Structure 1
């Protein structure tokens, strides 16, 4: 990072955090079409409208519509209407005859728009079909936070949605997200900034969240210069479920512990904590308080369930640090409690997995820095517990980054979902080999589907339950 010659004001820190947010979420946010792009898509008609809560919607209908309408749920970020994950995907699907629609969600609310998103998506579906007629088939598509919305549509949309395709979805829900992120933030604050009172929850403004992000990022940057600091960064990264494979780098060897930590540090250096803290503020706005807690968490037990535990232990040994002592300090000093009403609101608005009414295919990159692939493990367990496991399929792309899918990977997954909806059977279309063949055959921009099983999500709390803290 460049040297800073004067103290940053809260307003400056806010600008930095928002800039980082824009960079980190760019893969998940579709680019609005330019007139030239619309022309390239052929004779497509652009429709727009406004819903009763002020949300806007857009739809593109090709001249030779194939009868399928795709309802796209966009990710965390500005509440602007989008109807495709990327411009390249939008153009390809228009060329294949699909109509596409999507809403902004309520622009008066938080960017964590789960209070309105599902409602606005169904209202968008009504508004669009009133103009173009009933589709032969309606499929939901969503990525990142919109992947959570998409899973809710698959749960609640029977009769209105025929199937759903999720990409890099935040399917573990808002409370799991805030809890494992809290564990990482707390570890950085307690072990790298001992004695300092660092505000981690109940932010009163986005500037407060940005100030915390700035403080924690500086602590990580300073700690990277010593073996002891790097061991503690690895511990925080384990609790964050942060992948040890960063963009533009070769994947470290399975026992290259130092190389793994270096690549985890690269994610921190790119500003991930600005995204985390900005997201926390937005979630707290949406659910009306703090929906995360660490009181009662046993951090030794938490680490023992992490796929990164061997790395952390090895780095602590190399640094001459007492891992058990650090974990004991974290456990004994964990006093943060949740606001019960906020937890209940998050359970109602910001969770999924309670069941499925239609087939759902989720795809995820294997090294996702913002929505860890381990969320898919958590979500699948919940869907199976609901009795709807046969409706769910999950597939994985070997790549670093959040929502970094090729157009071919997206289209192939959509075609696999259509097979399931048309035939009532998955057969083998959602297997890695079949998806890879299908994507490659499109002759577009390549594919990297792979056989993969995500590790359990390191979160240390049972589902959305929380201790009584009234």
Structure 2
């Protein structure tokens, strides 16, 4: 209610200012006039203490890109990268974005959507009302962006998500915990490993260190590598690592070796820190293992054949390991924390405006399979015609060229202008559009992601 009253008060204030300007013949900041707003950088503070920034080019084309940043320090940003910021400004786009609430968790879903809409209001008041507003978000901000695309009718005209965590926080915590539990149970048998309920970032880092050390030691044996592959399957972990060629589909040893590269590079440290932040936000543990059938869970993974082959080669009984995991699964989620995460950190209940999602096909932090789960939910809501998804043939999270980002914005801009996608989001069309920019290249590819292991069923 206070935010609603604040919005009404601001709207009333702007109306009074406009009336005064009309009577005196002068223009005020935020009024819609034929005079272009002054170019430059703007900053401000929102009601919850979040900061917002905006950049306006000298020759503004009337379109505002509202950017939602990813997981990390709550610092305002208005573009994915410095290079994309410069190119988009040069093309005439204005940019804006908020920090989200700086007093809360880095998992800032409690405030992010609200703060992004408040940033739009602040831009309207202090710069001008855009002719068109497009929402853009990356990583965790891709989840914010998907929520804006669901809730933003009348406020935004379309959205572009890049490397977005679109399956949401509930699925993320669930499948990550399944993998962490598998590592602890099979590679550190008989040891007590704290997997949830972290009291601090240091507490989470201790668990990450133990799990990473266990994986490193296990990589030395065939039995250990088979069990690493099992955990990687539950994690939806890509088998194509940076600096390497993709492994052959019939080479399970090479597939596991590249999954190990991701894990050895500190992936678990990032995951455990994220779990601590999510628990901070939700007020408790948001995922559990109890009641999980680990054999059935594996059967839904695109890496199941790899796991079975490595278990055979190692002389291990896969059924015995999955049965032991099922018997020992005893972690229970806090229902209230789960409800909180469901309310703040999911987005797959439909779309109100067109959304183009772009993802690298080998993303170690937000698996590309999240796009499959999200699309299924959007279609179930009857909004499939509003969604398009595109893929880039590259490794690593949010690893896009400037040309890929700008071409994606152009494709959405076309959709909003014409009311039709017109094939502009096909791999060939996006590649051609990116190449024409003459920037830093692109690698769009026709691709269909596999199933997200551990995804919650559609309600």
- What does residue 395 of structure 1 align with? 390
CA distance in 1, matches of 2:455, 2:413: 37
- What does residue 43 of structure 2 align with? 48
CA distance in 1, matches of 2:456, 2:439: 42
The alpha-carbon deviation at position 460 of structure 1 amounts to 5.5
Q: Deviations over 1:14-71 (max 9, x none)?
A: xxxxxxxxxxxxxxxxxxxxxxxxxxxxx94000000111100110000100000000
- What does residue 268 of structure 2 align with? 273
Task: Name which of 193, 200, 213 aligns with 1:205.
Answer: 200
- Structure 1 residue 145 and structure 2 residue 106: aligned? no
Q: Is the 8 A contact 1:302 1:460 kept in 2?
A: no
- What does residue 254 of structure 1 align with? 249
- Structure 1 residue 302 and structure 2 residue 297: aligned? yes
- How many residues align structurally? 422
CA distance in 1, matches of 2:118, 2:39: 22
- What does residue 124 of structure 1 align with? 119
- Structure 1 residue 337 and structure 2 residue 335: aligned? no
Q: Deviations over 1:342-376 (max 9, x none)?
A: 11101110000111110000000000000000000
- Structure 1 residue 111 and structure 2 residue 106: aligned? yes
- Structure 1 residue 359 and structure 2 residue 373: aligned? no
CA distance in 1, matches of 2:455, 2:272: 20
- Structure 1 residue 229 and structure 2 residue 216: aligned? no
Task: Map residues 360-379 of structure 1 onto 2, 5 A cutoff.
Answer: 360-379=355-374
The alpha-carbon deviation at position 131 of structure 1 amounts to 1.2
- What does residue 87 of structure 2 align with? 92
Question: Normalized against structure 1, the TM-score is what?
Answer: 0.89
Stretches of structure 2 that go unaligned for 5 or more consecutive residues are 1-37
- What does residue 172 of structure 2 align with? 177
The alpha-carbon deviation at position 170 of structure 1 amounts to 0.3
Q: Is the 8 A contact 1:57 1:102 kept in 2?
A: yes
Q: Which runs of 4+ in 1 moved over 6 A?
A: none
CA distance in 2, matches of 1:143, 1:162: 18
Instruction: Tell me: CA distance 1:460–1:154, structure 2 relative to 1, closer, same or farther (3 Å).
Output: closer
The alpha-carbon deviation at position 462 of structure 1 amounts to 2.4
The alpha-carbon deviation at position 382 of structure 1 amounts to 0.6
CA distance in 2, matches of 1:303, 1:382: 22
Describe the SS at the equivalent of 2:115. Answer: helix
Q: Deviations over 1:262-290 (max 9, x none)?
A: 11000011000000000000000001111
CA distance in 2, matches of 1:176, 1:239: 12
Q: Is the 8 A contact 1:297 1:460 kept in 2?
A: no
Q: Deviations over 1:64-95 (max 9, x none)?
A: 00000000000000000000000000000010
Q: Is the 8 A contact 1:353 1:379 kept in 2?
A: yes
Indicate the larger mover: 204-213 or 361-370. Answer: 204-213
Instruction: Tell me: CA distance 1:332–1:151, structure 2 relative to 1, closer, same or farther (3 Å).
Output: same
RMSD across aligned positions (CA):
0.9
- What does residue 279 of structure 2 align with? 284
The alpha-carbon deviation at position 433 of structure 1 amounts to 0.7
Question: Normalized against structure 2, the TM-score is what?
Answer: 0.91
Q: Which protein shows a greater Rg? A: 2
CA distance in 1, matches of 2:373, 2:288: 19
Describe the SS at the equivalent of 2:215. Answer: helix
- What does residue 313 of structure 1 align with? 308
- What does residue 419 of structure 1 align with? 414
